[in-house]
Amino acid sequence: MLEGPLVIAIDGPAGAGKSAAARLLAQRLGLPYVDTGAMYRAVALLAWEEGIALPPDETAKARLVLLARHLPVRFAGTPENPKVFLGARDVTSALRREEVSRAASVVSAVPEVREELVKLQRALGRHGAVVEGRDIGTVVFPNAQVKFFLTARPEVRAQRRRDELAKQGQSADLDAIIGEIRERDLRDSTRAVAPLRPAPDAVVVDTSDLTLEEVVEELYRRTQKRLGG
């Protein structure tokens, strides 16, 4: 049996199903849920609203660092209806906009911003949590008791994103989404700071042909096995 607060790290690229699976797994285990990707998108949203240039010059970088350092992020809602707040403001829908997602990838490549958000992420998970993102098992919680890396074929991930946009009343070209996903994968996996990659001791789960329920069951089963039942 492992000791200390239980931290489950779930990493993977966009569209692999990390967020939904992590929320449901957290609920099943009675643990807090931390969406680190939403934190980068929150900084990107604030930067966009304040007219901060991206990619940032030195002046803009300093402003981004301040936004990250004082980010008043809070997670609420349910697995079926998750909410992200900045202070008292519900920014859940705003964080899913395409321009915010693209900006978040740029923001996340700024080392000083990552440094500030990693401090916040560790604080949020210090008493135990299911934490999902792109560098949780490698950087944020390298000693997490349980680590997963979720992935899926680019075509599957693109279709999921297209379906998500359709639910929001937005149309999108599937080939364009596939192109954006491949571009983001390359950018995230080749950046100098905290590149996207599985931790050496992470369990890799391909969700391409699995339902959400099957993914959660697989994560739960492997977590129980890791914890000794």
Q: Which residues of 100-121 are buried (b: 16+ CB within 10 A; e: fewer)?
A: bbbbbbbbbbbeebbebbbebb
Residue 18 confidence (pLDDT): 94
Residue 168 confidence (pLDDT): 76
Average pLDDT, the chain: 92
pLDDT tens readout for residues 181-202: 998 888 888 887 788 899 999 9
Task: Return the minimum-mean-pLDDT range out of 93-97, 136-140, 188-192, 208-212.
Answer: 188-192
More confident residue, 35 or 98: 35
Task: For residue 16, name the pLDDT band (cuts at 50, 70, 90).
Answer: very high
Task: For residue 98, name the pLDDT band (cuts at 50, 70, 90).
Answer: confident
Q: What residues does 75 pair with on adjacent strands?
A: 84
- 179: tokens are 């192109």
Residue 44 confidence (pLDDT): 97
pLDDT at 3 over 70: no
This prediction has a pTM of: 0.89
Report d(CA 152, CA 222) in Å as an integer: 19
- 60: tokens are 């803009």
Instruction: Find the Cα–Cα–Cα–Cα dihedral 164, 75, 122, 148, rounded to 10°.
Output: -40
Residue 52 confidence (pLDDT): 95
Residue 65 confidence (pLDDT): 97
Residue 229 confidence (pLDDT): 62
φ, ψ of residue 84 to 5 degrees: the values are -125, 130
CA angle 74, 80, 83 (to 5 degrees): 20
pLDDT at 219 over 80: yes
pLDDT tens readout for residues 128-167: 999 999 999 999 999 999 999 999 999 999 999 888 888 8
How far separated are the first and last CA of the chain, in Å rounded?
8
Name the 3-class secondary structure at 174. Answer: helix
Domain limits of the chain? 1-32+128-229, 36-126
55 closest CA partner among 117, 115, 110: 110
Third-level CATH fold of 36-126: Rossmann fold (3.40.50)
Name the 3-class secondary structure at 189. Answer: helix
Specify the CATH number of the domain 1-32+128-229.
Answer: 3.40.50.300
Task: For residue 33, name the pLDDT band (cuts at 50, 70, 90).
Answer: very high
Strand 89-90 to strand 82-86: parallel, antiparallel, or no bridges (unpaired)? antiparallel
Query: Fold match between 1-32+128-229 and 36-126?
Result: yes
- How many C-beta atoms lie closer than 10 Å to residue 149's C-beta? 24
More confident residue, 106 or 68: 68
Report d(CA 32, CA 195) in Å as an integer: 25
199 closest CA partner among 71, 56, 15, 10: 10
More confident residue, 208 or 166: 208
pLDDT at 1 over 70: no
Q: Which residues of 65-96 are buried (b: 16+ CB within 10 A; e: fewer)?
A: bebbeebebebeeebeebebbbeeeebbebbb
Task: Return the minimum-mean-pLDDT range out of 89-103, 117-131, 159-173.
Answer: 159-173
Task: Return the minimum-mean-pLDDT range out of 65-69, 107-111, 153-157, 163-167.
Answer: 163-167
